[in-house]
Amino acid sequence: MKPLVISVGDPSGIGPEITLRALSSLRLKRPVLLYGDRGVLTRTARALSQRNRVREGFPPPDSSGGMYAIHLTDLPEAQVRPGTPSLPGARSTLAHLEGAVDIVSRGIGAALVTAPIHKGQLAKVGFEYPGHTEFLAARTGAKSHAMMLAGGRLRVVLASIHVPLARVSSVLTTAGILEKIVLTRDALRQWFGMEDPRIAVLGLNPHAGEGGLFGLEERKIITPAIRRARRRGWAVSGPYPADGFFGRYDPAQVDAVIAMYHDQGLIPLKLLHFRDGVNITLGLPIIRTSPDHGTAYDIAGTGKADATSMREAIRAADRFATASGR
């Protein structure tokens, strides 16, 4: 089977720890290929009292399991310490991320799982993107993409991602919202096995605009997108006032929610799935998942990191790869 490919993220953050913790709790039928610094992974395994079960290089074609690793750097401990970001660490992060993406894009890997990166540190070494999602879309040549955050009770897709709140209204378009509906529906059908998924679309303004009293975006932008989707025979509804919708939210009635901006969708998602939420990038030519949290420098190296979200991200990538026949 093709391996799952994992970039272990910022070597000064919790990525190496949660990656090894998560893998130790899983029994996957396919091999795993890690992209990460040799020294960091070795020291992390030692700190976790894990035997070194990682083999060097690519897994053999007939491999049905096991952990393998590609090390593009081998940083001494003095250059990369837990909780202390560094430029050598940022360069290592970027090199391993690029390598992991490219190997999956070439069809050698079944799916990509990315551990947390720190965008501020990466910007210092030439990373020009606001996050993983935008980088992956550019690197793989994706024409459209969307961010889905998912847990067992709630799946949220964002119509706008890393956009200042003051600019959200100006970046929303009817075509863009319809695109997110299409990507969401395709993912729910292909990866989650839903024949006719039900998608709810939120409004932007208080009370979903109150008939135009509090804003016209619902009338001019959001509702036309919903109507176009419904004309295709799809189960799409809205626009709903966000507060009332989540106050009465019933996961038995809705398969995914389209939120207009970052915090509108992610606050309720993290209330329900702070520990086990998974970030899924829609629209890429590859499968990509990640844990729904950051580098957590404050607890890196302490042994306190919770690997639940990383474990679920790996499990989801494996499940999606199988569903896609990869």
pLDDT (tens digit, 9 = 90+) per residue, 68-120? 999 999 999 999 999 999 999 999 999 999 999 999 999 999 999 999 999 99
Residue indicated by tokens 């079944």: 110
The answer to whether 157 and 148 are in contact (CB under 8 A) is yes
Q: Which 8-state DSSP code applies to residue 87?
A: H
Query: Taking residues 238-250, what's their average pLDDT?
Result: 96
Reported as a single tens digit per residue, the pLDDT across 3-59 is 999 999 999 999 999 999 999 999 899 999 999 999 999 999 998 888 667 888 999
Q: In angstroms, how far apart are the furthest CA atoms of the chain? A: 64
The answer to whether 268 and 156 are in contact (CB under 8 A) is yes
Question: Is residue 1 predicted with pLDDT exceeding 90?
Answer: no
Question: Is residue 282 predicted with pLDDT exceeding 90?
Answer: yes
What is the secondary structure of 239-272 as a DSSP string?
EEPHHHHHHT--TTT-SEEEESSHHHHHHHHHHH
Reported as a single tens digit per residue, the pLDDT across 112-154 is 999 999 999 999 999 999 889 889 999 999 999 999 999 999 9
- Tell whether pTM > 0.95: no
Band (pLDDT 50/70/90 cuts) for residue 64 is confident
Of residues 74 and 63, more confidence is placed in 74
Residues in the chain: 326
Residue indicated by tokens 């035997």: 51
Band (pLDDT 50/70/90 cuts) for residue 60 is confident
Q: Which 8-state DSSP code applies to residue 3?
A: P
User: What are φ and ψ of residue 188, in 5° steps?
Assistant: -65, -35
Question: Is residue 162 predicted with pLDDT exceeding 90?
Answer: no
- Pairing mode of beta strands 235-240, 288-291: unpaired
The per-residue pLDDT for 52 is 62
Mean pLDDT of the chain: 95
Residue type for 324, please? S
Reported as a single tens digit per residue, the pLDDT across 190-242 is 999 999 999 999 999 999 988 999 999 999 999 999 999 999 999 999 999 99
The per-residue pLDDT for 53 is 79
